[in-house]
Amino acid sequence: MTEALSFLDSIHSIPGIRAGWLERVTDLPITGDRDQAMVQLRSWHTAALKNSTGSTAEWWRAEQVHGTELAVVPGSPTLIASDGLPVVPGVDGLISLQPGIVLSIYVADCGAIWLADRKTRGVGLLHSGKNGTEGNILGKALTAMHDHFGTRPEDVVAVLSPCIRPPDYEVDFAADIGKQAASIGIGRFVDCGLNTASDLTRFYSYRKELGKTGRMMAWITLDSQS
């Protein structure tokens, strides 16, 4: 599923910025761990990005270690992940002001957070589950975007992806992310309100599927023509 979902409309209202979300690949059985799942899903992720952006030549990904570190791309060092593609090591968020590159994050209960600055058109993408939210990766990302791009919170649109929520998880980190967005002063925050554990025909859920599951892909890009 790659169509522009309504919860991303506020991102798409910013000229030159596009975002996307690939849900469960229903005809692809996955019974292994994360590394095996990413190998299996590589061709689907690649095809989705090519279909949506026309190219994956500048495709940046985070290693996702359930922390709060971020990287500015391009220019950050990378290592090769299990699926044979590079990732920026040790980070759970990526920010950029460079047109023509794609940022992506992968989730299966944790939240992906899209960030877009209406004025500078800087973009970001975060992996924020229980640990990332407790460490306020959202706040750290806004500080980094201010330091590198001059971003002001009031100019930012932030969108939270489908993620696990009560009663399927004891921690309501989605609600905490919303509170953090308000305290930071983010101009517009959209929580899609969807629970990944509630519909396994549509979403992957690490908790419901006991770790043997795939990953949804979130992505964002600033068009090279912008």
Per-residue pLDDT band at 52 (split at 50, 70, 90): confident
Predicted pLDDT at 139: 98
| Averaged pLDDT for residues 70-74 | 97
> What local confidence, expressed as pLDDT, does residue 5 receive?
75
Give the whole-angstrom CA distance, residue 69 versus residue 66: 9
Which residue, 143, 116, 140, is CA-closest to 128?
A: 140
What's the chain's Rg over C-alpha atoms? 16
- pLDDT score of 53: 82
128/67 Cα distance (integer angstroms): 8
Tell me the pairing of strands 156-160 and 111-117: antiparallel
Q: DSSP alpha helices (H): ranges in the chain?
A: 9-12, 34-53, 130-134, 137-149, 173-184
pLDDT at 101: 93
> Tens digits of per-residue pLDDT, 155-213?
999 999 999 999 999 999 999 999 999 999 999 999 999 999 999 999 999 999 999 99
The token pair at 144 is: 């980094």
**72 Cβ partners below 8 Å, 6+ apart?**
94, 95, 96, 144, 148
Measured CA to CA, the distance from residue 144 to residue 204 in angstroms comes to: 30
Check pLDDT > 90 for residue 226.
no
- What per-residue string of b and e applies to 166-178 under the rule 16 or more CB within 10 Å gives b? eeebeeebbebbb
Q: Which domains does the chain have, with CATH numbers?
A: 6-219 (3.60.140.10)
- The pair of three-digit structure tokens given for residue 146, joined into one six-digit string: 């201010």
Phi first, then psi, for residue 106 (nearest 5°) are -120, 135
Res 19: pLDDT: 95
pTM of the model: 0.96
Which pLDDT band, with edges at 50, 70 and 90, does 82 fall under? confident
160-64-114 Cα angle (round to 5): 25
Residue 3 binned pLDDT confidence (cut-offs 50, 70, 90): very low
